[in-house]
Amino acid sequence: MNGEISFGPPRLAVGGAGPAFAELRTGNLGVRLAASPADLEAAQALRYRVFYDEMGAKPDARAMATRRDDDEFDAIADHLLVVDHDLGQGPQSVVGTYRLIRQDAADAFGRFYSESEYDISPLKRFSGRLLELGRSCTAPVYRSRAVMQLLWRGIAAYVFHYNIELMFGCASLAGTDPDALAEELTYLAAHHLAPENIRPRALPTRYVEMRRQDAAALDPKRALMRLPPLIKGYLRLGGFVGEGAVIDAQFNTTDIAVVVQTDLVTDKYYRHYERESR
């Protein structure tokens, strides 16, 4: 990505066809889809603050000048937003975001984001509809279980609306030294490896072995506690991981592939919307 790239207009409010669901509220907080260019810019600005200012990602000239985390996939995605109405109704109210890329959009574009790190051909052979999740972040003071649950309520509503059967994406652990993450990576590979028919595999040129310790000597509870909240959330939903990790030097992270079949999403989310639709 360089300073001369110009990205296309964002796909907002589900391609202009109206939102997949109305805003869901919990007190002063709500979750909804981006519905304007200002909404998208607010999400990109939040992503920059979290990924670059806080987590040490390395901005190029464009990102440094705009203080936005943006790429070509933003234009084909829907953007889930958590908003705090106590902060107003404008872009300043955006305190969390998640990027959602449906299979039809990725097919038209030519690829999913994850394909720069993983061979996802097993997922593409899956008979149901796919949804790629990514670019998830929240402002520091909003990193709570309540906000994560609100994000998942929004994802569940979106999944139900579009009849999504499998979700996947790249999730990140902080840092680029896999040996420093040996306990977490070994635990994930030993206890949560995806079934072969839906198992992504890191590209050969980027493959990092996840089994870095004797799995039998691990303390699973301690390893689970060390995982980032987002990855633990995927596991609570019955999620699996792919084979091999990937170092993302730009974002200062070690990435893993995560796969979640939506029929494993808890009653608390998915079936709630099924009942409401009836």
Note down pLDDT in tens along the chain; length 278 residues. 222 222 334 444 444 345 678 899 999 999 999 999 999 999 999 999 999 999 999 999 999 999 999 999 999 999 999 999 999 988 899 999 999 999 999 999 999 999 999 999 999 999 999 999 999 999 999 999 889 889 989 999 999 899 999 999 999 999 999 999 999 999 999 999 999 999 999 999 999 999 999 999 999 999 999 999 999 989 988 999 999 999 999 999 999 999 999 876 645 565 555 555 55
3-state secondary structure 73-112: HHHHCEEEEEEEHHHCCCHHHEEEEEEEEEHHHHHHHCCC
CATH class of the domain comprising 98-277: alpha beta
